[in-house]
Structure 1
Amino acid sequence: MHIRPTLAAASALTVSALAAVALLGAAPAYATEYSSALKVRGVQYDAPGSDDNRCSGGNTYKEYVTIKNYSSTATINLKGYKVKDAAGNTFTFTNSHSLQPGDYVRLRGGRGTDSDANNVVYRNNCNFLWNNTSDTISLYKPSGSHADTHAYTKSRDDSDGNGYIGFHS
């Protein structure tokens, strides 16, 4: 006999909790969640050392964004995915790189040899992509729809000042 009142009370609580979430908003202004297993895990937006974008001897390769497959079952091919910054600079994965469930890839600046074994893809561009003070990272599916977006501000998001910000655990 006590089951119905308990379920009714639980239902009322659930409806109240959902209403409160709807009033507060789904996510902070600086993070937008999309339905995608592929997400931006983190960004080394400020390469260690003095910024030097020379292709030979520079440190552009130390700047990277990590993209992770958060699916527990699906393998995702990166071919056709795009990464953009707030200024519209874009990198498109033109080669096949398959990410197994839980796997990740680091998209690095500079020039180098892509390696699935080492989880690295190079932009083959020696210019820095991410701004050192603030920027927005957007990941797009090959269809053009959003997969993930994060905005960061050094003063707000990098409490230890190491130039790295993590987004998803």
Structure 2
Amino acid sequence: MHIRAAASIALAATTALAGSLLVTTPASAASHQGGLHLGKIQYDSPGKDTRTNGSLNAEWVDIHNNGKSKLQLKGYKLKDNTGYTYTFGSYTIGAGKTVKVHTGKGKNTSGHVYWNRGSYVWNNTGDKARLIKPSGKLQDSCSWSKSDKGVKNCH
């Protein structure tokens, strides 16, 4: 009788643990759902790396808002492994919209902002892009290696 009771308790505990794992896994997996995240990254601009403004602007990071409301990005930062940092000024991204952060120089418009750098940021052989909230907390990150062939789809 005691063995059956112990087995029943163990089974109940195992079932409760499995149930709690099933409940928490979708919640953590959904952290990018309904929010701001890194999308596609063109870390190796097509052609030779000539450092022309056109070549620099062909290196970019998409940041996507898949939430249901617009977001103010002022103070958000985009950072690489070296510590190069782009900080958003006042910029509102609409619900379901994407903003492309170009490395080179240009005039910010709806959907496009410019880092205004004269040299490349993202390493072709491997790097990690980090999207950081104004509070300093990591919002999202995306890594790649040489095998990704110049473009990385993060989500």
Matching residue's letter, 1:136: K
Higher helix share: 2
Residue 78 (structure 2) aligns with: 83
Residue 69 (structure 2) aligns with: 74
The yes-or-no answer on 1:101 pairing with 2:95 is yes
The yes-or-no answer on 1:121 pairing with 2:110 is no
SS in 2 for 1:60: helix
Candidates 130, 133, 149, aligned match of 1:138 = 130
SS in 2 for 1:46: coil
CA contact (8 A) 1:46 1:132 kept: yes
Runs of 4+ in 1 over 2 A off after TM superposition: 11-22, 33-36
Identity of aligned residues (%): 35
- Give RMSD over aligned pairs: 2.9
Report the TM-score, using the length of structure 1 for normalisation.
0.73
Unaligned runs of 5+ in 1: 1-8, 28-32
| Matched pairs, number | 141
Residue 5 (structure 1) aligns with: none
Report the TM-score, using the length of structure 2 for normalisation.
0.79
SS in 2 for 1:102: coil
SS in 2 for 1:126: coil
Distance change in 2, residues 1:97/1:20 (3 Å): closer
SS in 1 for 2:105: coil
| Cα distance in structure 2, aligned partners of 1:86 and 1:111 | 22
| Cα distance in structure 1, aligned partners of 2:113 and 2:124 | 21
**Deviations along 1:90-113, whole A, 9 cap, x unmatched?**
11012x211111101000011111
Matching residue's letter, 2:83: G
Candidates 121, 126, 151, aligned match of 1:164 = 151
Structure whose alpha-carbon radius of gyration is higher:
2
Candidates 31, 50, 53, aligned match of 1:52 = 50
CA contact (8 A) 1:46 1:131 kept: yes
